[in-house]
Chains A and B, each alone.
Chain A
C-alpha cells in the first residue's frame, strides 16, 4: 500500500519578462500624427511606393528622383499613381508630429483619421 501523496497548491515555476521590464520603466504612449508624408515624383506630382524614397534631404527644386511630400492633418491621401497637391516638400519646416510613409497605398479620406478620444477613461476612482 502506497502513501497517498499530498496535493501541491503552488505554481510550478514563475517566469516573467514584461513584468520586470515594466517595473524598471513605466512608459507612456504616442498618438496620431499632425503631418504624414507620401513618396512623390516632383516632376509629375504623382505618388509612388514609399520604398522609392530613401533620401533624407528635402527636394530643393532641382535634380531627379523621388522625395517625401508632406500632407497636413485635413488633407486627402492620394492613392499610389494619383497626383497630389496641397502639401509641401519642405519637411524640415514643419511644426508638429510627422509620420513618414505607411499611409494606405489605396488612399483615404484624410491624413489624420476621424477617430476621437477621451470617451473612456474619465473616472478618477480606484479599482481593485
Chain B
C-alpha cells in the first residue's frame, strides 16, 4: 500500500456535495474547518493486497457470527452493560434468523502485511456515501481505466432485493429512520445522507420507502403497534440508531415486553447489538486465542498487556478512548460521555503512518460478503471525529467487461456464506 499526493479536482467541494457528501469538511470547536473528504492524496493497493484484506474480512465476519451465538447464550445484560431484557430480545432475534444488511470492520493493515481487527461497527455504520459514491466517482473522473475494491453500491442493491424476497418482512413498504441530532450533536447531515443513500439503493431493489427521524416514531396503545410520522403502522424499518439506545428508551420496553400485536421487522436486527459493543473483542480473543487477525483483549483490566487501549463498551468515534504506551509517559485520554457501562482493554497496535497520516481501513460487509474499503487517515493516534477519508485504486487491476463483473458478483469469495448457528 502506498500514499500518493494528488491535485484535487477543480471545484471538488461542490462536486462531492452535489453527489451526496454534504459534509465535505469537519468543523473544529474554534470554528475552523478541516477537510473531511481529502482528495489531495490517494492510496494505491495491489490486487494481491486486496485479496488478502477481502479474505481476512470474510474470516472475521464468520468469527463474529460465532461470537454472537456464544454471547447470546452465555452472557448477561449486566456484563454487557445493556438495559435489562436486551439479551432476551437478542436471543429471540437469533432464533428467528433475522437477516442483516451490512457492517463495517476497522482494520489496521501493517507494513508487514499483518491485518488486525480493531473493531466492528455492526449496528449503525456510516461512511457509505464516501465509499459507495464519492470515491467511486473520483476514480471515474481521475483514473477511469483503473479498478477499486468497491462493489458496495451493487451489493447494497442486491442485498436489499434479497431481503425483500426473504419472507422475513411484512409487505414491501420500508421506513428509514435516523437520528436527526440537534445543535451540538447535529452531524452536518451525515445521518440523513447515509440513510437516504441506503433508501436510494433499497428503492432500486423494489422497496417502497419513506424516511423520517426516529423521534417521530409513535406508539399506539389501542392497536399496540409502532407508528410512522403519518400515524401508519411501522411494518418494516431500517434504523440508523443504536439498539442499546433504543432498548434503554421508553419505547424499548414494548420490544422487551413483546407488547407489539404485530412486531415491526427491524434492520439492522436486534442481534446486531452484540456486534456494536467492544465486549465482542475479549469474547473473540477467548473463542479464537492468538488468532492472527485479532489483538489480545480482556474485560475490566489490561492483565499482562504493557501497551494497551482502553475502550468503553458502547464508545463511538474514538470518544473516551485511553491509550497507554509507557509507564513513564502520560496516557492519551479522549473526552466523551461513555464509560459507565464498562470497559475492555485491547493490545495497542501501531497504525501504519504515511507521511504522518495514520491509516485505518474501513472494510465493508454487505449481505455477509466483503464488499470494499474506505481509507481513513488521521493526524493523531485515535481515528476520531476529525479523521479524513481518501480514495484508493487498485494499481494492477484493469477494468474488464460488464459480463465479467456480473459473473464475479455472483460468485462467492470463500466457501459457503456463514450464518448464525
Taking beta carbons and an 8 Å cutoff, which residues of A are in contact with B? 5-12, 14-20, 22-24, 26, 29-32, 109, 113-128
Contacts and interface: CB of A to CB of B under 8 A. Distances in A.
A29 B175 CA distance: 13
A120 B214 contact: yes
Contacts of B215: 117-118, 120-122
Interface of B: 17-22, 47, 50, 121, 123-127, 129, 132-133, 136-137, 139, 147-154, 177, 179-182, 184-185, 187, 189-194, 196-197, 199-200, 203-204, 212-222, 227, 229-231, 240-242, 245-246, 249-252, 254, 316-317, 337, 372, 385, 394, 396-400, 402, 404-406, 408-409
Contacts of B50: 9
A31 B216 contact: yes
Nearest to A5: B400
Nearest to B121: A128
Given A7-B47, A9-B149, 10 more contacts: A10-B151, A16-B19, A16-B200, A17-B203, A29-B213, A31-B216, A113-B231, A121-B249, A122-B245, A125-B337
Nearest to A17: B200
A18 B213 CA distance: 17
Contacts of B124: 127-128
A116 to B, nearest CB: 6
Contact of A23 (B20, B47, B185): B20
A119 B200 contact: no
A117 B22 contact: no
B372 A12 contact: no
Contact of B147 (A10, A24, A118): A10
Interface of chain B, main secondary structure: mixed
Contacts of A11: 132, 136, 150-154
Contacts of B151: 9-11
Contacts of B189: 26
| Interface core residue of A16, A19, A109 (most chain B CB under 10 Å) | A19
Nearest first, the 7 closest Cβ-Cβ pairs linking A and B are: A121-B215, A119-B251, A128-B126, A115-B218, A127-B124, A119-B250, A22-B196
Contacts of B230: 30, 32
A22 B190 contact: no
A126 to B, nearest CB: 6
Contacts of B181: 124, 126
A74 to B, nearest CB: 14
B311 to A, nearest CB: 15
Nearest to B315: A125
Given A8-B399, A12-B406, A123-B245, A32 B231 contact: yes
A15 B250 CA distance: 39
B211 to A, nearest CB: 8
A7 B177 CA distance: 36
A9 B219 contact: no
A9 to B, nearest CB: 4
Contact of B22 (A7, A26, A125): A26
B182 to A, nearest CB: 7
A117 B153 CA distance: 34
B196 A127 contact: no
A22 B17 CA distance: 10
Contact of B20 (A16, A118, A125): A16
A19 B227 contact: no
B126 A116 contact: no
10 contacts: A16-B20, A18-B197, A22-B20, A23-B18, A113-B222, A116-B221, A119-B249, A122-B215, A128-B124, A128-B126
Contacts of A24: 18
Q: Most chain-A CB neighbours within 10 Å: which of B151, B179, B385? A: B179
A124 B182 contact: yes
Contact of B179 (A7, A10, A19, A123): A123
B317 to A, nearest CB: 6
Nearest to B153: A11
